[in-house]
Structure 1
Amino acid sequence: MASAEEPIPLSALQHAVYCLRQAALIHLERVWAENRFTAEGDVLHAVADKGGSRKARGVRRVLALPLVCHRLNLTGTADLVEFLPGPEGETAFPVEYKRGKPKLHRADEVQLCAQALCLEEMTGRPVPQGALFYAETRRRVTVPFDAELRALTESTALDLAAMLVSRRTPPPTSLRSRCRACSLLELCRPDAVLRPVRQWRDRMLARALE
């Protein structure tokens, strides 16, 4: 099981926004399962994980850059960070590779924003925006790190830290559509966990109507 003193992986924030129970199963109980979506993600990250640095048109591009934020106890690796030249020095621009296409929830944006918080602490310079590159659309989506996204990212990090300290996996709150895309569906079994709760609720309702 994870220790409360261990740094929180940046990827855990993405998991937590998607589903806090999923984050607990992966990072607290060390449960994992592959499906088509996770396999496609592994292939997409294979090139970035090799690391390396090069410069083109004045932009320094660093692959697989290790990141850390001591303030929020976060650690991880950025797929790509572009360091853009400016009059006051370089400005970091993180780029995260993702399979599929842009999503309705903000899980990917939170993971990217957490990278920005790390880069700000490490470089001492503001990181105003970054980008998500989606394999299905082959396009970058620019993500501004505004106050709302920063607040969501920090609150997610605090929720994760509290969960790790408690060492308790939260129960599922509902059976949602995103459960079908989760590689942990068979291990999580949200319907089996929720069924007794629904049956008890139905019994109480029936008694109240008698």
Structure 2
Amino acid sequence: MEYIEDEYLMLSGIQHYYFCERQWGLIHIDQQWAENTYTVEGQQLHTKADNPTVKEKRKDMFISRAIRVSSGSLGLSGILDVVEFYKDEKGISFQSKRGKWQPYIVEYKRGKPKKDERDIVQLVAEVMCLEETLACHISSSYLFYHSVNKKIRVEITDRLRDLVSDFCAKMHFYYQHKKVPNAEYFKNCRLCSLYDICMPRMSKKPKNIDNYIENAIHNER
């Protein structure tokens, strides 16, 4: 399925969706938002990383910031923190530069590496969008965690690509039908800035909702 530009969802939202489907729905469908310490610190970090006036260049590498990307196949669009380009004969050409260059995304995060794959899923979605934007292939990219000053290489596997595609299809289903997923209560709910808006203890997600969505998406294809 190919989405038109008016149907694109926010690229950054896929991390919200992985972490909590309801959180994503409250933010991206109901337009609800609330700040806490974590969200403010994260915004400050991305403001520095996304500054397009900050440039760096070496003989065999240059950095681009705040690159706009999109994907018609995923129906996502957004802005990347940092993309590092290294000289590589298997890379892509630019009119203003000699030779060919291979891109690698560096996604900046406030905290430390997670036990789950929420950050990885976002990075893979960014890679897939950049691949469509630049008509290239990217086999790996990086997550940089500010609090531990650590840069982690992530292999962009077929499993992760399929997971991103599946999430995007479900996100579009919810968004098209203007349906915010029901709440589930987790031990980390109290850390969420939307806890008082969400009220996760007040409702439970029907057990068969995933099957319902899977069937609906399959019938639309």
TM-score, with length taken from structure 2: 0.82
Letter in 1 for 2:44: V
Q: Which residue number corresponds to residue 115 of structure 2?
A: 104
Q: Distance in 2 between matches of 1:57 and 1:146?
A: 30
Q: 1:49: how far off?
A: 2.3
Tell me, in whole angstroms, the C-alpha distance in 1 between the residues paired with 2:179 and 2:63. Answer: 40
Q: Please state if 1:136 is matched with 2:136.
A: no
Residues matched between the structures, number:
191
Q: Which residue of 2 aligns with 1:182?
A: 192
CA deviations 1:114-167 (Å, max 9, x no partner) are 111011112221111111111111111111101111111111111101110111
Instruction: Report the equivalent of 1:154.
Output: 165
Indicate the SS of the match to 2:89.
Answer: coil
**Which of the residues 82, 85, 90 maps onto 1:83?**
85
Aligned amino acid, residue 120 of structure 1:
E
- CA distance in 1 between partners of 2:188 and 2:162 (Å): 24
User: Superposed, which structure 2 residues align to 1:1-210 within 5 Å?
Assistant: 5-52=6-53, 53-88=55-90, 89-172=100-183, 174-194=184-204
Distance in 2 (CA, whole Å) between partners of 1:91 and 1:46 is 25
Describe the SS at the equivalent of 1:65: strand
Q: State the 4+ residue runs in structure 1 displaced beyond 6 angstroms.
A: none
User: Which structure shows the higher helix fraction?
Assistant: 1
Gaps of 5+ in 1: 198-210
What is the SS of the residue equivalent to 1:96?
A: strand
Q: How far apart are residue 90 of structure 1 and its match?
A: 1.4
CA–CA separation in structure 1 for the residues paired with 2:47 and 2:59: 25
> Percentage identity across aligned positions?
34
> RMSD of the alignment, in Å?
1.6
Residue type at the aligned position of 1:182: C
Q: 2:139, 2:156 within 8 Å by CA — same for their partners in 1?
A: yes
Once the 2 structures are TM-superposed, how far is the Cα of residue 51 of structure 1 from its aligned partner?
A: 1.2
Based on CA coordinates, which of the two structures has the bigger radius of gyration?
1
AA aligned opposite 2:80:
A
* TM-score (normalizing by structure 1): 0.86
CA distance in 2: counterparts of 1:178 and 1:149, whole angstroms: 24
